[in-house]
Amino acid sequence: MYLEDFGKAVGHKSRAAILLALIGGKALPASELAYRAKISNQTASSHLAILEDLNMIFVRQCGRHRYYELVDHDIADAIEALASKLKLGLRDEKVSDHLRYARFCYDHLAGVLGVSITIRLLEKGVLGADTDTFKVVDSQHSVFEKLEIDLECLGRKRRLLAPKCIDWSERVPHVAGSLGAAIAVSLEKQKMIERSKEDRSVKITRKGYIFLERELNISREILNNQ
């Protein structure tokens, strides 16, 4: 991919809005993306074709439905990284406090919540920090059991286990990669967090509040900020 291709992809309000929606990590249908970008379905369709040409997204056909996704998480990471480096605003996202507080960064958690989880895992000695990645120090810790995360299984994947990802709102590294994704999936599956239907923000449920306080000792002060 060439620099100007990336530029062309994000260089239009509507396409930027579409990509920003997809950074949420959910696969979304064209009509939903049109709604989010505030354009007609036809127009969205043409933008989607452009983004597909540029190899930024692909479509997953499920019966009569077509869901669009980013081709890979590098693209999400790159956009977040860019936003943090250049102190970019993200015009079309109402940059709500919800979004700042907790959101999906493709397939893992970012914002105050993502960073807090990372920090607590480091302080508890579950994770350690390398230059560009985190590493698991205490693989026997009860967190992994509670979240039903099979580290061996994750380790066998080709994807990096726990690279650092820096987001625009906090500018502090948080856990990404297959571990970051596994944490987010598990929290969602166990109904500790709930995705917003509007955007990529998430809400901590009552159950999640208790888990995060008891198991990770995230302070109530932080948790109540939601």
Partner DNA sequence: ACCATGTTTCGACAGATATCGTAGCGAAAA
Partner DNA sequence: TTTTCGCTACGATATCTGTCGAAACATGGT
Interface contacts to DNA, rule CB under 7 A: 12-15, 29-32, 39-50, 59, 63-66
Q: Among 172, 165, 168, 169, which residue's Cα sits nearest to residue 133?
A: 165
* Number of other residues whose CB lies within 10 A of the CB of residue 66: 14
- Whole-angstrom Cα distance, residue 88 to residue 107? 21
Least distance in Å: CB of 14 to its own copies? Answer: 9
* Residue 208 DSSP SS3: helix
Tell me how far apart the alpha carbons of residues 169 and 121 are, in angstroms, rounded to a whole number.
Answer: 20
Binding site for its own copies (CB under 8 A): 1-4, 6-13, 15-16, 20, 74-75, 77-79, 81-83, 85-91, 129, 131, 173
Closest contact distance (angstroms) between CB of 221 and its own copies is: 25
Question: Residue 156: what residue type?
Answer: R
Q: Which does 207 bind (CB under 5 to 8 A by kind): its own copies, DNA, none?
A: none
What does the alpha-carbon distance between residue 153 and residue 186 come to, in Å, rounded to a whole number? 15
Q: How far is the CB of 160 from its own copies (least distance, A)?
A: 13
Minimum separation from the CB atom of position 180 to its own copies (A)? 16
CB 200, CB 25: distance < 8 Å = yes
The binder of 225, among DNA, its own copies, none, by C-beta within 5 to 8 A per type, is none
Q: Which is nearer to DNA, 39 or 165 (CB)?
A: 39
d(CA 181, CA 175): 9
C-beta of 62 vs 82, nearer to its own copies: 82
CB nearer its own copies, residue 10 or residue 39: 10
